Structure 1
Amino acid sequence: MAAWTEKWFPDAYIFALAGVVIIAVAALAIGASPQSIADSFGNGFWDLTAFTLQMAMVVLTGYVVATSPPVAKLINRLALIPATARTAVSFVALMSMSVSFLNWGLSLIFGGLLARAIARRKDLTVDYRALGAAAFMGLGAVWALGLSSSAAQLQATAASLPPALLKITGILDFGTTIFTWQSLLTLAILMALTTVIAHFSAPQGGAIRTAEDLGVDLDDEPSESAPRSRPGEWLEYSMILPILAGILTLGWLVSQFLTKPFLTVVSSLNGYLLVFLILGLVLHGTPRKFLQAVTKAVPATAGILVQFPLYAAMAAILTKATGHGGMTISAHLAEFFSDIGGGGAFAVVIALYTAVLGLLVPSGGGKWLVEAPYVMQSATDVQMNLGWTVQIYNIAEALPNLINPFFMLPLLAVLRLRARDLVGFTFLQFLFHLPVVLLLVWLLGMTFQFVPPVMPAGQ
């Protein structure tokens, strides 16, 4: 499966381009005029500019924090905890998923560096492929159930929601999505399942392939900064400004918690990114070291920057290009899902649809903006709780990551491996996760009641 994926899967950008074409053809099929399709494409192309930057910053801030000296020291200490090869693999999986609850970008880099630190141990022989796959489990299993969930963050931030979607869903803070007991229970079950699978699937004996066997250099010593050569550079090498910026950020954060509801503060994507960015600055110590880390992090954001405008264009065509009877593609899809009815059947079909679409659109936030208008309208029509509908999406959203290697790219750069080295292990996780996910969204969905959308003031 891994070899087939690497050979036949094109770059994720091709999927995004193909998605625009497919949706444009579908709009023609329902009777939309070429002009309305072209207008929707061009007018909607930059609708997600703010959200695009926010998602790029999730990756960048996670990378910067994970590569800071204090976190690097913590990783080296954690690497000494596992006593056996199998516990080392399951330990990496558990740590990766735990960190992912805070930030999926941080989880990728943290997990990769932890895997490398364990692989450097002379007293332990561990399969490096299994360690790498375990490091991916934060993103491959539970990332969308954490605080950096693109869909949950988007639904909690009125300014980032397209107007058409805001009218359907209103504002859904984390109290209705991430922090429901049903979501937290799902998180705990999936973390336990993933850890057990990682433990028992770790190769033993002669089946082990170490980093040395794979030709991977494990030297992670940071490069030394060039010494200060001009008087004008002294602030670049000083901790004064980072400390002052940290104090300002801490003061702002305290003020937010004193003046606003807790869930409103933690649901704020802009506030979340501010804290992580300044935390990275403080942890690196000086502006010069911080900017060096940022430079290394920027390439990992390239896919987001060039793909999200295409997702915005898709969403615009779906919701604005009208065909026969004045209906959009979004309206037709909403009718289809509404016909399924409420309850378990709706939850299971939405979860399966989300997983399949994720193979073509490997982006949690971008895909939500494509999928949400008709899925959330259908949920309203069948009286499915809107917060749980977001979580159905979030639970199922991770499944295609276990097959499609797009989001492995930052981790692979850290591990210095190829996708085919990991996908054999992640596909095994997928085979176990799929039935469990479908069962959970069905059973737990029956514990919710429908709550009408809450519109922001002035809407």
Structure 2
Amino acid sequence: MRALTSLFDRLVQRYLPDAFLFAIILTILVYVLGVSFTDSGPIEMVSFWGNGFWDLLAFGMQMSLVVVTGYILANTPIVKKALKSLSSLAKTPAQAVILVTFVALIACLINYGFGLVVGALFAVHVARRVPTVDFRVLIASAYSGMLVWHGGFSGSVPLTIATPGHFLEDLMGQVPVVETLFSPANIFIVLTMVITLPIFNRYLLKGATSSHSASHIPEDDEQDEEPVVKATTPAEKLENSQIISIVIGGLGLIYIIYHFATNGFDLNINIVNFIFLFLGILLHRTPKRFLDTVSNGVKNAGGIIIQFPFYAGIMGMMTTSGLSEQISHWFISFATDFTLPIITFISAGLVNIFVPSGGGQWAVQGPIMIQAAMELGADLPKTAMAVAWGDAWTNMIQPFWALPVLAIAGLKIRDIMGFCVMILFFSFIPIAIGLLLF
């Protein structure tokens, strides 16, 4: 394991380009594949790319706010103290990796956006507590929490098919979460991941080829206590007024209570951002302190803003040209009722590299796989969850979701990808066992 980890770490350090260039290479690859293997011509593929280029604007804004609002909340004095207190549980590098992995897994089971931010920010605090830990391994461990998100409470596939009127209801009906999220297969996979992945990640420390410890940890440049400011003008008095923050923050809290009272435990990405934003306003106490933190936080969102449109273009080419459908049909051409879930899982993992959006991938691949399951007599809920787990699985080698984590950590994708490849190989085992034997 040490040799393999060291090998992949060296390879990606040497050959893997920046995440932005990775998106460019994927764009060119999908363009060539579309021209070569579909009926789409060169100009048509360009049009598919351009027409889809802006389809993720809303989602890109959501993910930018995940980073910014998470940074705002994490840099409030009370949250920083809580994170520092929890990080004190780690005394050694091994304990640091285990603790960060466990916290990230639990947070991502609750909500993927919440888990991404909490995992990365907590990793930074743990690294400051244990500066001898390899920071790259620690951030890779934080990102590994994304492996379980689609088997958790924010999983787009199980939540979609449990919603009345979903687009495949005529084909498969409404599937309650007891048959997907709380099925024996999903429970086995999630529990196995939560128990074994922290231990596995701990051994990745042995394969690190270079030390990325204290000098690579982002500095704690935020003050724990609000500085005393003597306001001399009406404008400065407003900027330093705690009343302003209390009023607008209070309105936000009222809406949060109303949301959960009327919708139940609906912890979607918008309400997570809303909670982070208004708690940040309240806990920073004054508009000035809040805005100063915002200025620092927005620096972390640059990669997301510029790269998400390129992935939207890739998705446009994949879906409109029919390339994603061809990939799915090829995989199911040799499936049986027993092997369809695992084949669906592998094909979903491949498609996810080019269409890294759970909801978008289900819209493309779901109808094909569910129709195949009906024709073969395979388990429909398990087939749907196979798509979900395939989508989550190859997130480990797809920089799309790593961008918020890397932004918070101040690292590049090549810094963590070698370890993520090892996590990808390991996670295949419990997922495959769950889909085949339960």
TM-score scaled by length of structure 1: 0.74
Shift of 1:72: 0.8
Q: Indicate how the Cα distance of structure 1 residues 240 and 442 shifts in structure 2: closer, same or farther if over 3 A, else same.
A: farther
Q: Deviations over 1:185-227 (max 9, x none)?
A: 42221011112223455559xx996835xx4467525147693
Structure 1 match to 2:246: 243
Report the 3-state secondary structure (helix = DSSP H, G, I; strand = E; otherwise coil) of the residue aligned with 2:255: helix
Q: Are 1:129 and 1:422, in contact at CA under 8 Å, matched by a contact in 2?
A: yes
Report the 3-state secondary structure (helix = DSSP H, G, I; strand = E; otherwise coil) of the residue aligned with 2:40: coil
Shift of 1:173: 8.4
Structure 2 match to 1:379: 370
Quote the sequence identity (%): 26
Q: Indicate how the Cα distance of structure 1 residues 318 and 247 shifts in structure 2: closer, same or farther if over 3 A, else same.
A: same
Q: Indicate how the Cα distance of structure 1 residues 342 and 242 shifts in structure 2: closer, same or farther if over 3 A, else same.
A: farther
Q: Are 2:121 and 2:408, in contact at CA under 8 Å, matched by a contact in 1?
A: no
How far apart, CA to CA, are the structure 2 residues paired with 1:391 and 1:229? 60
Structure 2 counterparts to residues 43-442 of structure 1, below 5 A: 43-82=51-90, 85-101=93-109, 102=111, 103-119=114-130, 130-139=137-146, 141-147=147-153, 178=181, 182-199=185-202, 202=205, 211-212=213-214, 215-216=215-216, 220-223=220-223, 227=229, 228=231, 230-260=233-263, 262=264, 265-266=266-267, 268-321=268-321, 328-341=322-335, 343-357=337-351, 360-361=353-354, 364-365=356-357, 369=360, 372-383=363-374, 388-389=382-383, 391-403=385-397, 411=405, 422=416, 425-442=419-436
Q: Indicate how the Cα distance of structure 1 residues 14 and 202 shifts in structure 2: closer, same or farther if over 3 A, else same.
A: closer
How far apart, CA to CA, are the structure 2 residues paired with 1:236 and 1:181? 54
Q: Indicate how the Cα distance of structure 1 residues 416 and 329 shifts in structure 2: closer, same or farther if over 3 A, else same.
A: closer
Give the residue type in structure 1 aligned to 2:199. V
Q: Which of 5, 27, 30 is 2:12 aligned to?
A: 5
Q: Are 1:60 and 1:301, in contact at CA under 8 Å, matched by a contact in 2?
A: yes
Q: Are 1:2 and 1:419, in contact at CA under 8 Å, matched by a contact in 2?
A: no
Q: Deviations over 1:284-336 (max 9, x none)?
A: 33322333333333233333333333333333334434xxxxxx434434432
Shift of 1:439: 1.8
How far apart, CA to CA, are the structure 1 residues paired with 2:180 and 2:293? 33
TM-score scaled by length of structure 2: 0.77
Give unmatched runs, 5+ long, in structure 2.
1-7
Q: Indicate how the Cα distance of structure 1 residues 300 and 356 shifts in structure 2: closer, same or farther if over 3 A, else same.
A: farther
Give unmatched runs, 5+ long, in structure 1.
322-327, 445-459
Q: Deviations over 1:54-85 (max 9, x none)?
A: 23323333333233222210111112224555
Q: Are 1:338 and 1:379, in contact at CA under 8 Å, matched by a contact in 2?
A: no
Q: Are 2:344 and 2:387, in contact at CA under 8 Å, matched by a contact in 1?
A: yes
Shift of 1:411: 4.5
